[in-house]
Amino acid sequence: MSNPPVPFIVRKLRGNPGKRAMRQPPEPAILPKCPEPPEWLHEYAKAEWWRVAPQLHVLGLLSLVDIACLSAYCASYAIWREASEQL
């Protein structure tokens, strides 16, 4: 059995002891500005989007592929908040 591949960041932190060429892993495109929330989100979800998305964008953690996941989180947050209010 061969050893499993070591993630790029771990090899970089170890100093690349094998001295093999290290290729950068693919990176998703970082958006130039914080994206608008999708139109279909509830008002509570949009408020949560504007609370979280700008901070993620500043940290460089919000890319094009993260928009759907963030939308799902915000939609779930809106459902939770509505349920809490009804209880």
**7 part of a folded domain:** no
Distance CA 42, CA 26 (A): 34
**21 part of a folded domain:** no
pLDDT tens-digit readout, 25-73? 777 877 889 999 999 999 999 999 999 999 999 998 898 889 999 999 9
Closest by CA position to 28, among listed 65, 75, 71: 65
Closest by CA position to 56, among listed 79, 43, 37: 37
Residue 17 pLDDT greater than 80, yes or no: no
Contact 48, 84 (CB under 8 A): no
**69 part of a folded domain:** yes
Does this model's pTM top 0.85? My answer is: no
**2 part of a folded domain:** no
**34 part of a folded domain:** yes
Q: Containing domain of residue 37, as a range?
A: 28-86
What pLDDT sits at residue 22? 76
**12 part of a folded domain:** no
Q: Model confidence at 85, in pLDDT bands (50, 70, 90)? A: very high
Residue 81 pLDDT greater than 90, yes or no: yes
Domain count, the chain: 1
